[in-house]
Amino acid sequence: MTAPLSEDDLIARFFAPIAGEGAFALKDDAACYAPPPGHDLVVTKDALVAGVHFFADDPPGAIAGKALRVNLSDLAAKGADPAGFLLALALPTDWRADWLEAFARGLGEDAARYNCPLLGGDTVKTPGPLTLSITAFGTTPAGAMVKRFAARPGDAIYVTGAIGDAALGLALRGDPPFAARLANVERAHLVDRYLLPRPRVAAATAMRDHARAGMDVSDGLVGDLEKMIRAGGVGARVDLSAIPLSDAARAAIGGEAALFEAAITGGDDYELLACLAPGRAGAFETAMRAAGVPLARIGEVVAGAGVVWRDADGAPRVFTRGAYQHF
Amino acid sequence: MTAPLSEDDLIARFFAPIAGEGAFALKDDAACYAPPPGHDLVVTKDALVAGVHFFADDPPGAIAGKALRVNLSDLAAKGADPAGFLLALALPTDWRADWLEAFARGLGEDAARYNCPLLGGDTVKTPGPLTLSITAFGTTPAGAMVKRFAARPGDAIYVTGAIGDAALGLALRGDPPFAARLANVERAHLVDRYLLPRPRVAAATAMRDHARAGMDVSDGLVGDLEKMIRAGGVGARVDLSAIPLSDAARAAIGGEAALFEAAITGGDDYELLACLAPGRAGAFETAMRAAGVPLARIGEVVAGAGVVWRDADGAPRVFTRGAYQHF
């Protein structure tokens, strides 16, 4: 156990060193931020609760990183470049200085990695579980934010990266039968993808330059795509065989339909979904390739309502589970 | 009990009706905000936990109002006009639709009252107590944010409104002896001031036009003034007899030194402290009067360090209790 620190001491010791310009070393109640002229601010906020969104015994740096990264994923989907963030931290009564030090170190490393400085926040105590909320800001040129609800019939549907790694990594905590067919390196890959999202910050420019609609995949590909399509008042056809899987996910699934369904309906992918007007798909692919972001075309937007998920042989599949509900 | 709602249903039912422009009816993961040209953004974030910052059985509309108002108080102290806010809400598992409806109604009324629309947020479940975090934005003309740490020797120190009502109102929950000397209307006034802050939003223009340093009084006048003075690397002399008290607070204190100390060291005043350069004090008083904000001059900034609190007869007083620590 450690001597109790006041809130001011705690902020000065752990958080002031990672604060950005405009945060006044966290000695004020508010931060000042001047957006670049001709730019809009894009603002997002996510809350995470121990035992709901992460495990209380996850590494503290990974908890901090995840809290920031889930917000950066939202910004990337909207085509916004990170500009800064605020953190609200409700600490359980048994918090330890070494835990908080590792948490702040992880947060500071990610703030530097993603060029997204800490601008302020609040630290309080709670009789409940560790609870975090991050508000992240990004900027786009005026009017360039990518909306969720703008898909039109004829648009091509893309997804970045690989789907299902995090859901399978989470399942590995229960030591499921499929663990036996994975090499250590595959297990480690899947667990790591659950623990620490890789937000597609590098994709922001391609998204705002080309995508008509976009969102990040945080609650499962199936549920999130259905949300995006419903929000646009349109329908979609998706080829299940085109959904990108990592080698580790492919090995874990091993042809079991239930595991494939778990992979494409489970949460925490933090990849991006995008709808591209027919004339923009090529330029989008080129821009994503230049940004080093893997991209797969998985279907198309159609008139009507609902998403039809088709097997490799063209037969429709219905999933028993919709979007993963963190709530 | 009520049927479970999904997060999307809950947002559509309770929060979308109070969302502002740029929030896309909360159907997107992020909001878009374009600050007026030539303006800075001022950003603040406060977290509140049931059982720590409010009582779980406080009226839901008052809980919502308090969460927003403590942030608006920070903005006013910085000289910023409200522009919008985001809400993270961690709901205990036994939440009820009628509770949430009253919460959202109170929040919406305050958003309208203070011209500060809901722009987005996140709703999650928690196994712990109800936890809220609000991030509020305001705007000032470029460079006009009032800093906490800018006080200079010779500045006059002002405080708005009346101090101690909320601390005495909180103490009334324990049915203290002083309750016997209060009329019902006085009791009601003090309890109400604890329950629902009155942020000095009307004072923002006078603050940014005239004040050299400023902060809001949320953790007790004594501790907060000492913070502001220490942050400026200066000292101060304060006349205790000049600290403004309401009639109800005066009646509650009844000449008892311990109760006076409780009033000026207790939290939740949400008044403003300001340091004014000698040549600006008159204009500041005029502007505050025009804004309808009561104002008292309580002391002056001096060279050196520390705050000397003097009785009416000039004798220094030392307080056993520093700033109220919500943390």
Residue B80 has pLDDT above 80, yes or no: yes
- Residue from A75, A135, A225 whose CB has the most chain B CBs within 10 Å, to mutate: A135
| CB contact at 8 A, B127 and A51 | yes
Per-residue pLDDT of chain A (327 residues; tens, 9 = 90+): 345 677 778 888 889 888 888 888 888 889 999 889 999 999 999 999 999 999 999 999 999 999 999 999 999 999 999 999 999 999 999 999 999 999 999 999 999 999 999 999 999 999 999 999 999 999 999 999 999 999 999 999 999 999 999 999 999 999 999 999 999 999 999 999 999 999 999 999 999 999 999 999 999 999 999 999 999 999 999 999 999 999 999 999 999 999 999 999 999 999 999 999 999 999 999 999 999 999 999 999 999 999 999 998 999 998 876 555 554
* pLDDT at residue B2, rounded to an integer: 47
Answering whether pTM is above 0.80, one says yes
Share of chain B above pLDDT 90, in %: 85
Lookup: tokens for A232: 């646009």
Instruction: Indicate the range of A11-25, A288-302, B76-90, B161-175 predicted with least confidence.
Output: A11-25
A145 vs B contacts (CB less than 8 Å): 30, 32
Q: A148 and B28 in contact by Cβ < 8 A?
A: yes
What is the DSSP annotation of A238-276?
Answer: EEGGGS---HHHHHHHTT-HHHHHHHHH-S---EEEEEE
* pLDDT at residue B1, rounded to an integer: 38
* pLDDT at residue B198, rounded to an integer: 97
Residue B325 has pLDDT above 80, yes or no: no
Which residue, among A327, A203, A223, A220, has the nearest Cα to A276 in the 3D structure?
Answer: A203
* pLDDT at residue A10, rounded to an integer: 80
In three-state secondary structure terms, B141 is strand
Alpha helices in chain A (DSSP H): 7-10, 60-77, 97-113, 165-172, 184-195, 204-210, 221-231, 247-253, 257-265, 281-290
Structure confidence by residue, pLDDT tens digits, B182-235? 999 999 999 999 999 999 999 999 999 999 999 999 999 999 999 999 999 999
The Cα B236–Cα B157 span in angstroms is 9
| CB contact at 8 A, B164 and B249 | yes
Using CB atoms, pick whichever of B34, B44, B142 lies closest to residue A30.
B44
* pLDDT at residue A1, rounded to an integer: 38
A123 vs B contacts (CB less than 8 Å): 47, 327
Q: Is B28 on the interface with A (CB under 8 A)?
A: yes
Measured in degrees and rounded to the nearest 5, phi and psi for residue B297 equal: -90, 120
Using CB atoms, pick whichever of A30, A45, A128 lies closest to residue B121.
A45
Lookup: tokens for B253: 């204190």
The Cα B77–Cα B80 span in angstroms is 8
Nearest CA in chain A to B122: A46
Q: Is A7 on the interface with B (CB under 8 A)?
A: yes
Euclidean distance between the first and the last CA atom of chain B, given in angstroms as a whole number: 34
The Cα A54–Cα A66 span in angstroms is 9
A36 vs B contacts (CB less than 8 Å): none
How many Å lie between the alpha carbon of A27 and the closest alpha carbon of chain B? 7
Structure confidence by residue, pLDDT tens digits, B272-320? 999 999 999 999 999 999 999 999 999 999 999 999 999 989 999 988 7
Question: Which residue has 């502007």 as its token pair?
Answer: B287
pLDDT higher at A176 or B19: A176
Question: Which residue has 């009329």 as its token pair?
Answer: B183
The Cα B92–Cα A131 span in angstroms is 12
The contacts of residue A217 (CB under 8 Å, 6+ apart) are: A159, A163, A224, A225, A269, A270, A271, A272, A273
In three-state secondary structure terms, B57 is coil
Average confidence score pLDDT of chain B: 93
Q: A216 and B29 in contact by Cβ < 8 A?
A: yes
Alpha helices in B158-280 (DSSP H): 165-172, 184-195, 204-210, 221-231, 247-253, 257-265
List, as ranges, residues 118-147 from A with C-beta within 8 Å of B: 119-129, 131, 133, 135, 137-138, 142, 145, 147
Which residue, among A160, A192, A196, has the nearest Cα to A291 in the 3D structure?
Answer: A160
Using CB atoms, pick whichever of B29, B135, B215 lies closest to residue A29.
B215
Q: Is A150 on the interface with B (CB under 8 A)?
A: no
A137 vs B contacts (CB less than 8 Å): 43
* pLDDT at residue A18, rounded to an integer: 84
Structure confidence by residue, pLDDT tens digits, B47-70? 999 999 999 999 999 999 999 999
In three-state secondary structure terms, A157 is strand
Residue B229 CA, distance from chain mean position = 19
